Amino acid sequence: MKIELKYGCNPNQKNAYLESPLCMPVEVLNGRPGYINLMDALNGWQLVSELKAATGMSAATSFKHVSPAGAAVSVPLSETERKMYFIPASKNLSPLATAYIRARGADRMASFGDFVSLSDECDACTASIISKEVSDGVIAPSYEPEALEILKSKKGGSYLVLKIDPSFKPSGKEVHTVFGLDLVQDHNSWMPDADTFSDIKSVAKDIPESARLDMIVALLALKYTQSNSVCYAQNGQTIGVGSGQQSRLACTRLAGAKADLWQLRKSDKVLSLPFLKGKTRNEKDNIIEQYLADDPEIDVIGNWQEYFSEKPQPFDSEEKKVYLKKVSGVSLASDGFFPFRDNIDRSAKSGVSYVAEPGGSTRDEEIITAADEHGMVLVFTHARLFHH
């Protein structure tokens, strides 16, 4: 069975299609898919379905270029999180909508033009949230009639809506064709279980259920993130994903910088910014990123009349450092072992208290020592999660 695509990775790569030798578990309900759309959709679906299986909670992910910009489960939003995600206090949210708001809110700049994957039937509440975002498409096991109509009207009627059979199981083998040659491997069936967090190497041993949930979210997100990759998580969602870097320290720095921005968005200075009326969510996201940027070439305060009803107070580097020093309880996961302690030292600056990594480095003792110096709980999962 075959589904014709608009084109491959690029418009010059014609004659592209999705093919299945037995049955086709994907149905196009609206729009016309592209190659990267389906890469995002199929990887994202695996992630959210595994999050649901591992936690029992509704799950969502926001994918961009075959890596999650954000992934989350349906931990209820706090009052502060509602404000930072632009969700009115009076708006009732379904668990699935909550999961998507968290996934999209993890890194709103990276999520611009995302592909959405949902673990459960898409309800009208979730569809209404998606309809207000700049997004390319969505995949879910089913749709409420009202939700489907909302989504079909998006992007002038061209919004891509995919339905997937949740009972579909892939074959035991995966095939990746490169330069006309087939690379074949077993499907990665790893899932977190009761033993995943049992090998605690640090002096500190206590892992609260909230941290265990965050590490599950981070590890499963890494399973579908282009390697090398590192993920910070808190409150049932990723808050910083560093993907596709040759250096693991670069991953840790990149993800840590994103996690820091997520934390700073919760500050009173950001939540009280006096935006001009009529600014959209995406405009506010861009302005907040500029407001928080330590870049002398970006001067939002200097051009405040374009964005704000009154001149906001600046948020200088020292104030940010003081604010971030108060952050704690963040979880960090890595898809491969940490080769040097610099990764642990950098993550400590972003409030990391719990670390999950495979172990197996010749410097494992150095990593354990670093974790102990920072008072972290360090777990060796013995599971490498490279993804390409």
Could you report the per-residue pLDDT of 243-270, keeping only the tens digit for each? 999 999 999 999 999 999 999 999 999 9
Closest CA to 256 of 219, 228, 294, 230: 230
Q: What is the pLDDT, as a whole number, of residue 17?
A: 81
Closest CA to 332 of 261, 247, 233: 233
Query: Which stretches of 80-126 are assigned E, i.e. beta strand?
Result: 114-118
Going by CATH, does the domain composed of 174-264+324-380 fall within 3.40.140.20?
yes
Q: What is the pLDDT, as a whole number, of residue 29?
A: 97
Q: Is the pLDDT of residue 71 over 80?
A: yes
Q: What is the pLDDT, as a whole number, of residue 8?
A: 84
Task: Please say whether the beta carbons of 238 and 217 come within 8 A.
Answer: yes
Task: Please say whether the beta carbons of 146 and 170 come within 8 A.
Answer: no
DSSP string of 26-85?
EEEEES---HHHHHHHHHHHHHHHHHHHHHSS-EEEEEETTEEEEEEE-PPPPHHHHHHT
| Amino acid type, 231 | C
Q: Which of 37, 228, 235, 343 is catalytic?
A: 228
Q: Which CATH architecture has domain 2-169?
A: 3-Layer(aba) Sandwich (3.40)
How many C-beta neighbours within 10 Å does residue 358 have? 18
Task: Please say whether the beta carbons of 200 and 218 come within 8 A.
Answer: no
187: annotated active-site residue: no
Q: What is the pLDDT, as a whole number, of residue 173?
A: 85
Q: Which of 52, 64, 154, 258 is catalytic?
A: 64
Provide the b/e sequence for 181-207 (b: ≥16 CB within 10 Å). Answer: eeeeeeeeeeebeeebbeeebbeeeeb
Could you report the per-residue pLDDT of 84-143, keeping only the tens digit for each? 999 999 899 999 999 999 999 999 889 999 999 999 999 999 999 999 999 999 999 999
Q: Which of 6, 65, 266, 269 is catalytic?
A: 65
- Coil, strand or helix at 100: helix
65: annotated active-site residue: yes
Task: Please say whether the beta carbons of 239 and 224 come within 8 A.
Answer: no
Task: Please say whether the beta carbons of 337 and 313 come within 8 A.
Answer: no
Could you report the per-residue pLDDT of 23-67, keeping only the tens digit for each? 889 999 999 999 999 999 999 999 999 999 999 999 999 999 999
Q: What is the pTM of this model?
A: 0.94
Closest CA to 116 of 90, 75, 147, 87: 147
Q: Do domains 2-169 and 174-264+324-380 have the same CATH topology?
A: yes
Q: What is the pLDDT, as a whole number, of residue 19?
A: 82
Q: What is the pLDDT, as a whole number, of residue 332?
A: 98
Handedness of CA 280, 281, 286, 292 (dihedral sign): positive
Q: What is the pLDDT, as a whole number, of residue 23?
A: 84
pLDDT, mean over the chain: 94
Distance separating alpha carbons of residues 92 and 261, to the nearest angstrom:
27
Q: Where are the domains of the chain?
A: 2-169, 174-264+324-380, 268-314
Q: Is the pLDDT of residue 160 over 80?
A: yes
Could you report the per-residue pLDDT of 196-208, keeping only the tens digit for each? 999 999 999 999 9
How many C-beta neighbours within 10 Å does residue 132 have? 12
Q: Which of 2, 277, 326, 388 is catalytic?
A: 388
Provide the b/e sequence for 325-334 (b: ≥16 CB within 10 Å). Answer: eebeebbbbb
Q: What is the pLDDT, as a whole number, of residue 295?
A: 84
- pLDDT bin (cut points 50, 70, 90) of residue 4 is confident
Distance separating alpha carbons of residues 163 and 246, to the nearest angstrom:
35
Greater model confidence, 378 or 174: 378
Q: Is the pLDDT of residue 290 over 90?
A: yes
Q: What is the pLDDT, as a whole number, of residue 228?
A: 93
Q: What is the pLDDT, as a whole number, of residue 327?
A: 97
Q: What is the pLDDT, as a whole number, of residue 192?
A: 96
Q: Is the pLDDT of residue 1 over 80?
A: no
The end-to-end CA distance of the chain, in Å, is 25
- Coil, strand or helix at 4: strand
343: annotated active-site residue: no
| Amino acid type, 355 | V
Distance separating alpha carbons of residues 41 and 384, to the nearest angstrom:
23
- pLDDT bin (cut points 50, 70, 90) of residue 5 is confident
223: annotated active-site residue: no
